[in-house]
Amino acid sequence: MSVPAATPGHAAGEPAFSRRLGAVMLATMLAVLGGGVALSLAIDRQATEQQVLHATGVLAETIGAQAGALVGGLEQALLGINHLAGSGVSATTLAATMATRENVLPDGVVLAVVDSAANPVLATAAGRRRMAGLQSGVLARALGAMGPVPVGQLTYLPPIRSVAGSVLPLAERLEDGRIAVALLPLRLMEGFYARLGLGSGAAVALLDESGRLLSRMPPVPVEMVGEPLPRALPIAGLLARGEGWTGLYVSNADGIPRYTAMRPVPGQPLAVAVGVRDSEALAQWRRRAWLASSLTVLAILASGGGLLLVGREARRRLDAQASASARLELLARGSAGIAAMAELPALLGHVGRMARETLAVPYACIALHGAARDGGQHAVSLAPAGGWFRPHNAWHRAPDERHRLPPRPPGQQPAGEPPPALLSTLEQWATDPALAAAALGPRLFPAEPLAGLPARAAIALRDEQGRPLGVLAVARADDTGFSADDAAMLSQLGRMAGIAIRNRALIAGMQRAAEEASSARERIERLLESVSDGFIALDANWHITYANAAALRLVRRRHDRLVGRSLWDMYPVLVELEAFEQLQAVASLGQPREFEQHFAGAPGRWFQCYAFTAADGVAVFFRDVTETRHTQELMRASQRMEAVGQLTGSVAHDFNNLLAVIMGNAEMLEDTLDPADQENRHAAWLIRDAGDRGAALVRRLLAFASHQPQAVQVVVPETLLEGLLPLLRRSVGDKVRLLLTRHEALPRLLLDPGQAENALLNLAINARDAMPDGGTLTIALAPAELDEPELEGFPVARPGRFLRLSVTDTGSGMTPEVLARAAEPFFSTKADGRGSGLGLASVYSFVRQSGGVLRLESQPGEGTCVTMLLPADPAIPPAAPVPAELAPVPTPQHGGSEHVLLVEDEASLRHNLTQQLSRLGYHVTALACGPSAMAALRDGLRPDLMLLDVILPGGISGPRLAGLARQHVPDLPVLLMSGYALAAGGEEEGALPLLIKPCPQAVLARRLRHMLDAREWS
């Protein structure tokens, strides 16, 4: 690495380029300076002109006000004459009034009344004398030019001449045809102008609305007075608008350009123009312009000389800076490799090479002393193989001869190869410990030709406490000394070498730490890749710096599509969610946060996250807990259903007792009424019908809560559906078309046929309500095989053979929100009073209680399909005939004469049942609790049948009471009653028959008669 030397062409071309650059810069500076001065002078001139025009305008307004006052006085005088003449005063009075007014006006003003020929009719003596001085006929010609002017209107006539000068006549026609005249000597105006002292070049003029010159100061030739100006302004338009005018105007009287301001005379059709000669107005500006131009020239000359001096100095400094930059570049490139060198020999050799290259010397040596040697190599000398050193005898030649050595012949050793003795002497000098101890700063040694030593320089290397570590020494190839820049560069090299030597252990430790950190990072990454939770690392700018395999799998992205990108750019929806606030809190507060985040979508996903601060940002562990949340939701829903079921069962008991009383009394009332009393019998029937509907509602509640007892039996689907078709057709109405499709080999079912019919009827009614304008209702039956995954959400269902019963309509369908809540209890979209919200809920409960699966499919506007998957009876093959059940023993609809023991804790119901049994002919003993019944049995009561409530007070339930009673009366028939939902009798061995409250009297009579007759047959 070496410093490139400047080529001759480059060296010769650089001054020419510098001169051209200086000339361009000087021309640019002159142009900018001259342009700036010119622009400043132009702005100053414009401001001066504006000031002059403003002052001239103010003066014109002042003169106009004076002229307006003078002319206004004349106008008032003529107005008074006109008034007096019109009022019929005598000529003497009018003449006296005119004389009085004339004396008040300025000297020389004449007031008179003349006829149409301009002959004075009324005038003062002085006025007659002044009118006599008028040129002959001029006033008559002026009055003749008035035309048909209305009476009382003031008219300005053209100026006329007199022996005393020009006169401005003002005329006003009287009612009798005469004319009132006021003659204003224009010398009065000229005298006023002269008193203003405007200067020799200023001018003041009075103009009428036609642009005629009425008066001017300085005076103009007489023939110009009363004549329009050749370059007159549109005064009439300006006077009509009440505006003035300012600008540069050249007078036709003397041809002098003036800054002129024209202003209207207040209240009069006249205008005053005031002009100031341009040379006088711009005199001060011209002096300022001359001074600024002179100073600009001087500044340009001074700047040019200074620029030349600055250019020379700049070239010198640029050369020095280029040389220093080249050295610094070499120093920077060389120092970059020091950090990677932990071995001392390599470090010393690298520093020596840097010293040779930056100082452009052929020899460098770095030697260590004392503890810095570290038990290893203590000195490294670097010298060229040949060509840099001059022969030893060349040091005694003249300086100009040292550069003219003869070329080396081919085959000979290079003439500049340093002799071994010189290298030994330099190394002995450089490794001397005394040199390191004495050299506090850079030490420069001149050449010693007699001793054969070139120019040398050395600097000590020291530790933090200032103790010597060694020395860095360099030597030139000749006696050329080292400059101050060389000494400064040597100081930099020495400082850098000392730091590198002191820190070599630290560098080695850092390398070991970096290797250990890299190894630890690899171990951590292997650990993170092995965990099932997702992990991402974020830097301070929220860019993802790392993501493990689980994170890529959970977010469903490739590594190159995730790592290196901003978290907020990848997932902008996070900004609106809780995760944004949580992560910001972790980053700002430094505290870990654990939270759950839900992402809406199809399907929505839940993530459990744990965020904490990392070295350069935030790290997050997260896992997908969607399934866990779904399981929890199912568990909570199941718990809610169980709670509702328990509440339903509790309410159903009391409600059934009330319904039993209502229905029983209604039946007795209907039986006791005269058949001819249709009105009251109908009322009794309405009460009983309401009770029946209430009982049906309770049964649906119990079915929904899975507490409705099931009368399970083998069911043939075809037979069940065919028997229900008439009811279905009546229920859906004529607008709905009912279709039935079924498979040939349908499985047999083991379920409660009554609840199955109720479920089908509910689905058909829902379909009808969804098609108010009519449509098609399709009921399909088909076999199906279901596996374990298809039974999710229905824990009672087991894999195997099922009957697929589908009810499909072409109605309005359901939105996803409604579909999600369709099976909820008491949820209904029908109008108020039209639905209880238990139809589909009871269907769901029936299917679940039967061990089946319920599926809902619907789209808005496309209809709804409800599918019940009911388990087949594995004991009966498909399409096998079902054994006919034994027909029930025919029993009469009336009662009997046996003795019935009734135990019912509800007093009203006990009374009603007692009446019903008595009406049937039975002897009844009615008790309220189990202990009372046991006491009666112990006292010798022997009933033929016991009718017991299941739940009784006194600590003895109905089933237990039956067992205790049979100890006294063996084989005693017992019929249980309950408003609770209990298992149906006969399903388990030893179970007692059960009658669900409320029940009609006919059902109670048949059940009692059947049990009593069965006992007799046995």
Check pLDDT > 80 for residue 866: yes
Who contacts 146 (Cβ-Cβ below 8 Å, separation ≥6)?
Answer: 155, 157, 171, 173, 179
| Backbone Cα Rg of the chain | 65
DSSP 612-654: EE-SSEEEEEEEE-HHHHHHHHHHHHHHHHHHHHHHHHHHHHH
Give the amino acid at 804. Answer: R
Instruction: Give the Cα separation of 886 and 878 in Å (integer).
Output: 23
| H/E run at residue 526 | helix 504-530
Angstrom distance (rounded) from CA 351 to CA 497 = 6
Helix extents (H) in 772-860? 816-821, 839-849
Residue pLDDT, tens place only, 491-550: 888 887 777 777 766 666 777 777 887 887 788 888 888 888 889 889 988 998 888 888
**What pLDDT, on the 0 to 100 scale, is given for residue 157?**
81
Q: Who wins on pLDDT, 603 or 203? A: 203
Gap between the Cα atoms of 471 and 436, Å rounded = 5
Q: What is the mean pLDDT of the chain?
A: 77
d(CA 455, CA 442): 13
Output the 3-class SS for 683-702.
HHHHHHHHHHHHHHHHHHHH
Residue 835's pLDDT is what?
54
Residue 483 — very low, low, confident or very high, per pLDDT cuts 50/70/90? confident
Mean pLDDT of 203-214: 79
Of 142-146, 381-385, 578-582, 870-874, highest mean pLDDT = 578-582
- How would you write 1-52 as a 3-class SS string? CCCCCCCHHHHHHHHHHHHHHHHHHHHHHHHHHHHHHHHHHHHHHHHHHHHH
Separation between Cα atoms, residue 185 and residue 206, nearest integer Å: 13
Higher pLDDT, 456 or 506: 456
Of 758, 698, 759, 713, the closest CA to residue 996 belongs to 698
| Lowest-pLDDT choice from 13-27, 274-288, 711-725, 801-815 | 13-27
Overall average pLDDT of the 802-812 stretch: 90
Q: Given this model, what pLDDT does residue 6 score? A: 39
At residue 656, does pLDDT exceed 80? no
The pLDDT of residue 400 is: 33
Q: In what order do the strands lie in the sheet with 775-786?
A: 736-742, 775-786, 800-809, 863-871, 853-859
pLDDT at 923: 93
Of the candidates 784, 758, 788, 774, the one whose C-alpha atom is nearest the C-alpha of residue 867 is: 784
Q: What is the mean pLDDT of residues 203-213?
A: 79
- Per-residue pLDDT at 142: 78
Q: What is the pLDDT of residues 954-1010, one digit of tens each?
A: 888 889 999 999 998 888 999 998 876 544 333 333 468 888 788 777 788 888 888
Predicted pLDDT of residue 902? 93
Grade residue 892 by pLDDT with cuts at 50, 70 and 90: very low
Cis omega (within 30 of 0) for bond into 218: yes
Over residues 385-403, the mean pLDDT reads 35
pLDDT for the residue 214: 76
Can you give the pLDDT at residue 877? 65
Q: Are 865 and 808 in contact (CB under 8 A)?
A: yes
pLDDT tens digits for 312-366?
777 777 777 777 777 777 777 766 666 666 677 777 778 888 888 888 888 888 8
pLDDT digits (tens, 9 = 90+) for 7-66: 444 444 555 666 677 677 777 877 887 788 888 888 888 888 888 888 888 888 888 888
Comparing CA positions, the residue from 208, 203, 186, 210 lying closest to residue 251 is: 203
Which residues are registered as beta bridge partners of 204?
217, 274
- Between CA 649 and CA 852 the distance in angstroms is 23
Q: What is the DSSP letter of 881?
A: P
**pLDDT at res. 407:** 39
- 338: helix, strand or coil: helix
Residue from 155, 76, 137, 83 nearest 109 by CA: 76
